Every structure is written in structure tokens, then in C-alpha cells.
Structure 1
Amino acid sequence: MRILAVDTSTNVASAAILEDQTIIGEYNCNRGKTHSQRLMPMVQHLMETTGLTVNDIDAFSASIGPGSFTGLRIGVTTIKAMAFAAEKPVISVHTLDALAYNLPFAENLICPMIDARNNQVFTAIYRFIGDKLERLTDYMGIPVTELADILRKMEGDTVFLGDACNMHRDYFVSELGNRVKIAPPGTALAKASSVAILAGKAYSEGKLESCYDMVPFYLRKSQAERERENQKVKSDD
């Protein structure tokens, strides 16, 4: 089993290949949202380095969100196109699930956070039960104040990770004190290897999709859509 996975949900562009239970190659670049320029060369270099072609891949996977609207479209469209060309299935992986899986066997609560602007984050809360990742809440797009209220009512320390972690570290420390733990840099950001591993689990369970069925998971409408709706309401008034 070989799975090619990408993650373009945040500033990080990432691509990885899983072969059976081993990540045989991964590239990560955290230099801004230039995914349209960097993703395909990254994937091509990864394939060349591992000596594989698209026909050697059994399934293609993408982190589908929530996250950057433009980034998600680039990653999902790329994977759908490759799967279509190779006539292979796709596997959708939620971004927050993949982020949480960066911390396998963690004993604390895990809280991945993706910046949603205006002091809001895309988030969910997780815990590992043995080697199984369990999501304890819905996927949420909420103010950090609301997230702090939710965590205050839950028992135990919380490990924070994701691109919004450093932005809001001081706030959560002020609200939750020494219950706040920060993931180290090597595990704090989105990685396609985690997407690939979760996709591998789905593959073994037969949870495959047609490339036509994969869509981004935005969680909420884009800023442009909200502005258009507001303008329509004003014009109707």
C-alpha cells in the first residue's frame, strides 16, 4: 500500500508518501502561502526521490480543512487531479485530526488550533486512548475566549499546537495557568506524514472515495462570501 498525501491548510506546504507502515519521504516548507507555486514541484521531487510514479500510488489523500480557503482548494484540487489521472481513489482527512495525530500517545488533552483571524480559531479537543485518537468535541470555529471556557471545564493539562498556538499562548496561560503545555516546534505544525498515516488507517478499513466526492471542509463561509451576503442584506433593506 502506498499513499501520497498533501497538507496545504495553513502556511505550511507539506507532501509525504506512506508505504505500508513507513513514511518513505516527506517535504515541508513553512515560508508563506505560495502553495500554488511550491506544491507540485514538491510532489514531483518527492516522487523522483523515492523512485515512484503516480501509477505506483494506491490512493491519494489531502487534508481537507478547516484552514486557509485558498490553500485547501489548491491541495484538494491537486490530489483530485492526480487521482483522476491515475484512476485511483482518494481519502479525505480532517486537518485538525491530522494535527492532533502529531502527538501520538500523549497523556494530556490535545488542542490543535488554526488561525481563523479576529481572535478566533478553528479547533477541536482530543485525547489518546491507547493508540486510538478520540475527538471529544465537534470541529469548531470559535473565539479564543470561548475555547478557554470549554477547557476550563475539562480535567487535566492541555497540549496546544497549530499555527495559532504562539499567537494566543499568553492568553491561554493567563486563563489556564500551568495547565497549558505547548507542543515542541517539530510537532506543532501541519505535516503531510500525519495525513498519510490517518489515510493509511482509512485505506485498511476500506474507507475510500472517488475523486469526484472529495471537497474542502471550510467549517464556515469565507470572508468574501460573508461580505457579499452583508451587501445583499443592505441592498434588500
Structure 2
Amino acid sequence: MKVLAVDTSSIVATVAILEDDKLIGEYVLNHKKTHSQKLMPIISEIMLSAELKASDIDVFAVAIGPGSFTGLRIGVATVKGLAHAVNRPVVGISTLDGLAYNMPFCRHIICPIMDARRRQVYNALYRWVDDDLMIIEAPRALALEQLIQELKEKNEKVVFTGDGVEAFKDMLSAGLGDLCAFAPASVRMQKASSIAQLALRKALRGETESYLTLAPFYLRKSQAEREYEQRCCGKSQ
């Protein structure tokens, strides 16, 4: 089974092709260009290098969030278009699941964090049990102080990963001391190969969906939506 996976949930644009358990190719670009400029050229280049056409792909996968609202929309729309063109199923994968999957067989709790602004982080908690990545806490948006307090109460070693590490490393170290550790920078960024592997597992269990129903998972409303609701509520009072 061939899987083409995309992750555009952050500044990183990454695309991978997996055939069963073999990684055919992966492209990771961590640069300032927008995803609308770079995603399709990356997909075209990796497909050309792998000597594949869209019709050769069995399943298309994408990181559906949380993350950058614009980035998620671009990634999801691109995968929907590709799947529609060749009538293939799709699989949506949590961005946080993908980040945790970058750290196979870590013995400690894994906590991917992404900067959600307003002193909040998108996060979830995971643990490897044998060769399965188990979810301890599902994806949520929390105030950083609330997350630190929750982890203090667990009193277990936690390894942080994701782009939130750079922004909040000092606060996490101060709040958790020896209970916290940080993944190397090389595995803290999104990797489409992890999205592809998670998608393959779901596809083999029959857990795919139509491109018609695929949608981003934002976790919270955008700033524009919140401001609109506040204006509407103010007018109705």
C-alpha cells in the first residue's frame, strides 16, 4: 500500500511517500516561503523522483491539526484535491500524534507542544507501550501554567517536543525542574513520514474516509471568529 502524506501545520512543509513499511522518500522544508508557494512544487518533485503518478497512490494522508489555521487549510485542501482527482480514500492524522510518533520507544511521557498564542499551548500526552503509541491525554489547548501544574501532579519524567519548546523551554524548566527533558531539535519539527506511518496503520484497519468529509481540526476558534462573536453578542444585548 502506497501512502502520500502531507503536513503543513507549522512553518515546516513536509511531504512523504511510504510503501508498506518502507519510506520511499521524504521532503522537509523549514523556510519562510508560504505553503501556498511551496507545497505543490514539493509534491511534484517527490512524485517525479519516486517515478510515481497520483493514480499510483492508494491513500492520501494529511495532518489535520491543531496548528496554523492557514497552513492546515492549505494542506487539507491540497490532499482533498489530489484524492478527488484519482478517487482515493484519505486519512486525517492529529499533528500532535505525528510529533509524538517522531520519538519511537521513548520510556517517558511524551508531550508535544505547539504555541497557540495568548500564553496557551496545543498539547497532548502520550506513552509508548510495546510498539504502540498510547494517548494519555487527548489534544487540547491549555494555559501553560495549567499544563505545568498537571504534569507536576503526575510526578513523572516528561519529554517535550514540538515548536513550543523553543518558546517555552525556560518556563517549563523553571516549573518542572528535573521532571522535564527536551527532544533534540532534529525531531521537534513535523515529519510527514510519521503522518504516513500513522495513516498506514489506520488504513490497514479500514479507518479511512472520503475526501468529501475531510476537514481541519482547529481545537479552538480563530481570533476573527472570536471577535465576530463578541460583536454579535454585544449587539444582541
TM-score w.r.t. length of structure 1: 0.98
Over the residues paired in the alignment, what is the CA RMSD in angstroms? Answer: 0.9
1:177 maps to what in 2? 177
Gap runs ≥5 in structure 2: none
1:197 maps to what in 2? 197
What CA distance in whole angstroms lies between the structure 1 residues aligned with 2:33 and 2:77? 16
1:205-216 alignment runs, 5 A limit? 205-216=205-216
1:39 maps to what in 2? 39
SS of the residue corresponding to residue 32 of structure 1 reads coil
Decide whether aligned partners of structure 1 residues 138 and 33 sit closer, same or farther in structure 2, where only a CA change above 3 A counts.
farther
Residues 109 and 158 in structure 2, CA contact (< 8 A), matched pair in contact too:
yes
- Per-residue CA distance 1:101-148 (angstroms, 9 max, x = gap): 000100011000111001111000111001100111121101100110
- Per-residue CA distance 1:2-56 (angstroms, 9 max, x = gap): 0000001111111000011011111111113600110000000000011101011
1:1-237 alignment runs, 5 A limit? 1-32=1-32, 34-237=34-237
Aligned length: 237
Gap runs ≥5 in structure 1: none
| Counterpart residue type for residue 12 of structure 1 | V
What CA distance in whole angstroms lies between the structure 2 residues aligned with 1:126 and 1:69? 24
- Per-residue CA distance 1:178-214 (angstroms, 9 max, x = gap): 1111101111111111000000101111111111011
What CA distance in whole angstroms lies between the structure 2 residues aligned with 1:201 and 1:61? 11
Residues 3 and 60 in structure 2, CA contact (< 8 A), matched pair in contact too:
yes
Post-superposition, which runs of at least 4 consecutive aligned residues in structure 1 deviate over 4 A? none
Residues 155 and 179 in structure 2, CA contact (< 8 A), matched pair in contact too:
no
SS of the residue corresponding to residue 138 of structure 1 reads strand
